[in-house]
Structure 1
Amino acid sequence: MKPLRLILACSALSLMPLTSLAQTASNVAPDVNTVTVSGIGVPRHPYPMGPDEFYKFKGSYDLANGQTLSLFNRGRVMFAKIGGQARHSIVAASPDTFVAKDHMMKIRFDPAHEDGDRTGELFLVAER
């Protein structure tokens, strides 16, 4: 699987508990940061990503917290899912960034490495 660095974003506007991702300062991995944001916005005019362009992002990614992020599509609808949690319908905000329509997730990819691996950041809205 492809590695993807996890960043957990906490929001006062959160609606969905993600307690399985909660970590204390003593057990946070060195490459995992916790930040506070006001929320994740969905673009008014999403980037028009076609199936051929989305294909290079499809697949499973190992997160720094041990979970797996999966990106897939059903027809022309794109989805992101973490482990056994519910899937989130996503839209492209730019050629390398996706946001969940439910405002709960944002995924940003760095350019692909020469070996094909990808790194990036995953922002999740978590219950405070």
Structure 2
Amino acid sequence: MGGIIFQEKDKKLELDITGYQYENCRGLDEYDSNWVMVRVNYSDPDLSFDCTDPCFLNFELKEFADEIQELELTETGLIKNFIEPYLSMAITKIDDDFAFQIRFVYEMTEEGWKEAYICQKFDLQGLRNLNNEFRRLYNKFPLRK
């Protein structure tokens, strides 16, 4: 894939952006022009899936990267819920480290949503590296006006 890899014990989640949802709508509505296709590949001992969904706008990813950078200067955490509720991310500061949590809805049924969660711990440099990866993904498919 070439995306960002998150690992927690025997869980692994790779997140990548594969393109714009609507390739040929440049110059139209800012929202329709900027939905990106997010590919998630997940595995743990009991579950594995690979799916692609337009679950956020590219400028939401840039906003998240900006918020991560600001988080370095504060003692608080960060929760990011995107317009579409299928992906959410949170960062909690614990002493000198950061716990990064990611949740992805991989299936919707009549009984409810099936979700996968993963949490990975980063030190400050690891968080900065992660933020650079989010910015790299954004730069692959930047804001179209």
Same-fold call, TM > 0.5?
no
TM range (shorter): 0.3 to 0.5
Q: Which structure is higher in helix share? A: 2
* Structure of greater Rg: 2
Structure-2-length-normalised TM-score: 0.33
Larger RCO (CA within 8 A; separation ≥ 6)? 1
